[in-house]
Amino acid sequence: MARVASDNAPHGALRKTVRHRSPEHLSAVRSLCCLICGAYGCEAAHVRYASAEHGKPESGRGIKPGDQWTVPLWLCPAHHREQHGSGEREWWRRKGIDPLVVARRLWAATPDYSRMMNIILTEGDEIWKGIVPAWRSEGRTR
């Protein structure tokens, strides 16, 4: 369980934070197409940077974030390694995606695949957004 400083505790005191674990959610995220390129065969990539705005505590260095902070990234080494290798917050900013918004929406939509896929199609990278209208008009869901 992750530990973070408490706002109400004496200086240096720690309190436990809840790290949600959900094999069902991770499986659902893996079934979606990549948030960056639209490819299938994704990993459930945990977003590691902290955000007070989203209520996400710091993680990394042995502290894995809860499963509610995952987004689908394709299994090619590039996306997942890029995500963690070059300043994660800046990497997402360059992609024009707020992964914490996407992760929270996916967590709330689990296990509804259609709702989850709609989130990805709405929030996905501009590179592949052009395929979305045609894909939807064909009635494709996967």
Ranking 11-20, 53-62, 77-86 by mean pLDDT, the lowest is 11-20
Q: Any idea what DSSP says for residue 44?
A: E
Domain of residue 91 covers 20-137
Identity at 43, one-letter amino acid code: E
Using CA atoms, how far apart are residues 116 and 99, in angstroms rounded to an integer?
A: 14
Instruction: Indicate whether 79 belongs to any domain.
Output: yes
- Higher pLDDT residue, 39 or 105? 105
Using CA atoms, how far apart are residues 118 and 121, in angstroms rounded to an integer?
A: 5
State residue 125's pLDDT score.
66
Q: Which residues pair with 72 in a beta bridge?
A: 44
- Higher pLDDT residue, 115 or 55? 115
Instruction: Indicate whether 44 belongs to any domain.
Output: yes
Instruction: Indicate whether 15 belongs to any domain.
Output: no
b/e sequence 90-110, b meaning 16+ C-beta within 10 Å: ebbeebebbbbebbbbbbebb
> For the residues 9-35, what does the mean pLDDT come to?
76
Instruction: Indicate whether 94 belongs to any domain.
Output: yes
First to last CA, the chain: 35
Number of domains within the chain: 1
Tokens 């024009």 sit on residue: 96
